Structure 1
Amino acid sequence: MSPFVLDDRLERDSEFVTALGLCQLRLLKDSRWPWLMLVPQRAGKTEIFELTPLDQAMLTFEANLVAGALKQVTGAKKINVGALGNIVSQLHVHVVARHEGDPNWPGPIWGFGTAVPYDNDRKHAFLTALNEAIGS
């Protein structure tokens, strides 16, 4: 069995936040939306159905945990959760907080405009609040 290796594009476009039971939790490098990503630490997986039943349950649990924490921290109107993988096939799940009036609301975030990097203070405050919400 080969070891888990994060796809170079996922690593380039996001930064590590924490390791959960199954997944790496990562923050996308685009401050226009509170945008997180869960990456199951399983080599060679591209689809949720390829995970073992236990890993599928863990992924669902972790996605719900992160989505709930993101809703609590941001007060978002809607939390979008999606596993597309059309460009990067490595299994990963996006968890995005959306607000009316955010860039491209209510349209999709993918391929819209240019990423805006986080200000370090804003990113630190967001991640601190997120980690507290996940832990509670």
Structure 2
Amino acid sequence: MFVLDSRLEQDTLPLGDFPLCRLLLMNDSHYPWFILVPRREEVSELFQLDADDQQALWRETTALAETLKDTFGADKMNVATLGNVVGQLHMHVIARRRDDAAWPAPVWGRHPAEPYTEQQIAAIRRKLELVLTDDFRFGE
């Protein structure tokens, strides 16, 4: 049974599900920072996914990155799995702009997080609803 890591649950807002991954929004309005988490038990590394799940993760990551680049007018997409603090496998997909709060440095630990307002979350949901595929199911 899939259980989201408590740190991810604490720091993010759930948006919905792709066929493999749960899509989360990091609750820091400085950056359009999304996280994909494969809904698989006890997986901390890419190579622990079977071949089909590895391909699905890359398809979902690529589709999300392309969507975010266009939707948020990103100058650069940052895509990475790190997991030094959160052991559960998760893929960061961050739309970076030259005028963002941390450019060109990494976003981690640059500024205290500034939580999204309800209006900002609704606007992000509306933007994504217009462009995400039929394979994506938005959460409540």
Pairwise same-fold verdict (TM > 0.5): yes
Specify which of 3, 19, 22 is matched with residue 21 of structure 1.
19
Superposed structure 1 runs of 4+ greater than 3 Å apart? none
CA RMSD of aligned residues (A): 1.0
Give the letter aligned to residue 37 of structure 2: V
Q: Equivalent residue for 1:11? A: 9
Amino acid at match of 1:126: I
SS in 2 for 1:45: coil
The answer for the alignment partner of 1:75 in structure 2 is 73
The code of the aligned residue for 2:56 comes to: M
Corresponding residue for residue 42 of structure 1 = 40
Deviations 1:58-114 (Å, cap 9, x if unpaired)? 000000111111111101101110100000010000000000021110000011110
CA distance in 2, matches of 1:11, 1:48: 21
Unaligned ranges ≥5, structure 2: 135-140
CA distance in 2, matches of 1:7, 1:131: 26
Query: Aligned residue for 1:129?
Result: 127
Q: Please, which of 104, 107, 114 is the counterpart of residue 105 of structure 2?
A: 107
Aligned-pair identity (%): 43
TM-score computed with the length of structure 1 as normaliser: 0.95
